[in-house]
């Protein structure tokens, strides 16, 4: 059975004015769909069809010598994860154990935000910024190029920010810092991130 595009967790216009309906229509409806369609064509009739999406990503990574399937499969996974990181009226501050872990790992929420945005700003070209948790609850900020995900290194991401230009160009043109600031301050779903942190440290 081919993989299908998971529905967005919110309506196409639900993130306005911080992320436009037009951006969602292109980013989710065209880019994400294209990665999915290409992956389905590439794995048709192969043993990868029987795997989970994560299994396809890890198999196609091929221990650091990625097969042609990898870029599409990883981008399907990354984008699905990205949509789940946002919500209408997001932003604000985390609470509970996640807030404690951010303070312990970075010193403050503001310092985390600075490091996270810096990871996005210094990722040359296309890629992703990530917040990764280990089993002990230690948090680190990472960046990856193109389709690469921390999954391939056995790490557990709990938050990501897409810094491919198609994530923001229709809204803010080439002003990546403006997009990142909006993402961090107005869009992050901290409750979803906290749930992932709980699972990662269970």
pLDDT value at residue 9: 96
pLDDT value at residue 78: 98
Q: Kindly state the average pLDDT of the residues 53-73.
A: 96
pLDDT value at residue 23: 97
- 3-state SS, residue 51: coil
Whether 1 shows a pLDDT value over 90: the answer reads no
Distance CA 149, CA 108 (A): 25
pLDDT value at residue 70: 98
pLDDT digit string (tens) for 136-164?
A: 999 999 999 999 999 999 999 999 999 99
As a whole-number percent, the residues of the chain with pLDDT over 70 amount to 100
Q: Which residues pair with 133 in a beta bridge?
A: 139, 156
Distance CA 105, CA 186 (A): 23
pLDDT value at residue 175: 94
């Amino acid at each position: 059975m081919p993989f299908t595009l998971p529905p967005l967790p919110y309506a196409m216009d639900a993130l306005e004015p911080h992320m436009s309906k037009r951006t969602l229509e292109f980013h989710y409806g065209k880019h994400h769909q294209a990665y999915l369609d290409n992956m389905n064509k590439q794995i048709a009739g192969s043993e990868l069809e029987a795997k989970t999406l994560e299994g396809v990503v890890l198999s196609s990574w091929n221990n650091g010598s990625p097969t042609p399937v990898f870029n599409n499969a990883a981008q399907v996974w990354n984008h699905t994860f990205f949509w789940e990181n946002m919500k209408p009226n997001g932003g604000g501050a985390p609470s509970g154990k996640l807030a404690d872990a951010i303070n312990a790992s970075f010193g403050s929420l503001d310092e985390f935000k600075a490091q996270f945005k810096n990871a996005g700003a210094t990722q040359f070209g296309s890629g992703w910024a990530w917040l990764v948790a280990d089993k002990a609850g230690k948090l680190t900020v990472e960046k990856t190029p193109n389709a690469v995900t921390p999954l391939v290194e056995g790490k557990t991401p709990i938050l990501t920010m897409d810094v491919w230009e198609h994530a923001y160009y229709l809204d803010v043109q080439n002003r990546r810092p403006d997009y990142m600031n909006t993402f961090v301050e107005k869009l992050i779903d901290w409750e979803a991130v906290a749930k992932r942190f709980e699972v990662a440290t269970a």
